[in-house]
Structure 1
């Protein structure tokens, strides 16, 4: 029995619908795999960075020295760098125009943060080569997976 043109059109539409449905399933499966790869890479990157940061020792000599800042024969004692903070807080409560108090307080906070950062020392704990390779290998592999999934073209 010969098919008429409407049957041929319906068959064509049905085939197109099946192809589209299969394509959607394949792309959603691909999206799931991409998301899984991204999160596995993120987990590997985080684990490697955690292990690296666990092997870094941080020490400070801020309170040990007598002077924080020295120019020639003049030295600024460590406790004296708190003075701008105290003056800034007092200015906030005493003055009508509080902008000057905020400026002095900000200078004091920046000075304290800089003094702590300038006297901080980082050192690497000794570790064996196996742990070293695992740490940096996790960071490299995890970073590679994350970057590949982030910059993959569709």
Structure 2
């Protein structure tokens, strides 16, 4: 059956569509590479800025200062007493048949110790000049913006 004029037009349109698809795929692969590069450059800027910020923070703790952590009126909870639930939990693990209770008491003891350390921790900003301050927060803001732009870009 001979090809009609409409068949020739359809063939021509199909070939144009294939060429367009090839050119779009090559362009999108190039843009994917630049998007990936932009993401990693942003990640490096963000990491560098956060590193500089954390280098300028001094961490101190008053844990164990004066031999007690908590004061309730005239009653002081000694530092050693917060270890008591951990010791009891370990003993329960060895003595009891149902070990779940020992694990619960041990977990509560670990949480108490971690909370007591975190509650007595203080952060202090180390003195820095304005240029360093602007560089630190500028790197963090620029890097965070680049990462977020690439993560939430809609094409």
The TM-score normalised by the length of structure 1 is: 0.90
Task: Say yes or no: does 1:66 pair with 2:64.
Answer: no
Shift of 1:12: 3.6
**Partner in structure 2 of residue 145 of structure 1:** 146
Matches of 1:12 and 1:62 in 2, distance apart? 77
Residue 69 of structure 1 aligns to a residue whose secondary structure is strand
Shift of 1:65: 2.1
Give me the CA root mean square deviation. 1.7
The TM-score normalised by the length of structure 2 is: 0.90
Residue 153 of structure 1 aligns to a residue whose secondary structure is coil
Shift of 1:151: 1.2
**Partner in structure 2 of residue 27 of structure 1:** 28
Shift of 1:152: 1.2
Shift of 1:5: 6.3
Shift of 1:15: 2.7
Shift of 1:64: 1.9
1:1-40 aligned within 5 A: 9-40=10-41
**Partner in structure 1 of residue 124 of structure 2:** 123
Task: Say yes or no: does 1:77 pair with 2:85.
Answer: no
Matches of 1:98 and 1:124 in 2, distance apart? 45
Unaligned runs of 5+ in 2: none
Shift of 1:86: 0.6
Unaligned runs of 5+ in 1: none
